[in-house]
Amino acid sequence: MNNGTTGFSDVFKDKFLSGFSLSTQNLTLPNILISLAIAFVLGMVIYFIYKKTYRGVLYSHSFNLSLVMLSMVTTLIIMCISSAPALSLGMVGALSIVRFRTAVKDPMDTVYMFWAISVGITIGANFILFSIIGTLVIAAILLGLSFMGNNMGHNYLLVVHYDERYGKEVTGAVNKMVPRYKLKSKTATRNGIEMTLELRLQGNRTNLVDNLLSVPGVQDATLVAFQNEIA
């Protein structure tokens, strides 16, 4: 019997339904354009930081562009979800259908993807100042770490083929030219010895292979950029 009083179940029902009601307060055209513009600017910051700090072998321009688009697309999704929480259920169902099979080769690429997503989430949730400050701090940290890493040198793989009879001469020459290195493999064939070394060089030291060719017994030498760190 309804005597005009409101019980706990009625209050809970009203709050629950109001949470799933559509609110277009933040979905005005100026707000949408401003949010997308900020997401684009911060996405371009991620773009330049990724390009500046990339230390891999093959730089992917398409992946870097996808970081900018990822920030903007995530902003749109979060703005829609925040205006109507019921859409989040449909969004979960839609994303469960899509299967992402793109392999991420570098762990740092995953970090940049989460960074772009977090920018889109914070902007879409109207935490714009938080997103700007966080992006600038992360960018400064990555630039600082990249600068420190460049001063420490870059990692390379040195592959040397030489005559087995000149093993001591080749080893002595390598020790003199590269004080610090790590032996990765050494293969003996009928044509000679193949030795692979992991080393770190500072600046432009590609003349190392030219100097090795002047060592007696060295048939050829190859220097390849390498991503892993020397233990």
Tens-place pLDDT, residues 138-156: 999 999 888 776 666 677 8
Residue 211 in tokens: 């100097």
Nearest to 70 by CA among 129, 113, 31, 38: 113
The range of the structural domain enclosing residue 87 comes to 22-151
Using the predicted structure, report yes or no on whether residue 227 has a pLDDT greater than 90.
no
If one counts the domains in the chain, the total is: 2
**Between 85 and 208, where is the model more confident?**
208
- 81 has a pLDDT exceeding 90: no
**Inter-CA distances, 152 with 18, 112, 141, 182, 209, Å:** 58, 23, 17, 16, 21
The whole-angstrom separation of Cα 100 and Cα 118 is 19
Q: Are residues 161 and 88 in the same domain?
A: no
Residue 53 shares a structural domain with residue 138? yes
Per-residue pLDDT reduced to its tens digit, 185-213? 888 888 888 999 888 776 656 678 888 88
- Please say whether the beta carbons of 200 and 154 come within 8 A: yes
pTM given for the model: 0.66
Statement to judge: residues 54 and 84 lie in one domain = yes
- Domain assignment present for residue 4? The answer is no
Calpha distance 181→153 (Å, rounded): 13
Q: Are 89 and 189 in the same domain?
A: no
Same domain, 97 and 39: yes
Looking at residues 8-16, what average pLDDT do you find?
Answer: 54
What gap in Å lies between CA 192 and CA 160, rounded to an integer?
A: 10
Question: Which pLDDT does position 153 carry in this prediction?
Answer: 65
Q: Please indicate, yes or no, whether residues 147 and 158 belong to a single structural domain of this protein.
A: no
Asked if residue 103 is part of any domain, the answer here is: yes
**Do 159 and 182 sit in the same domain of this protein?**
yes
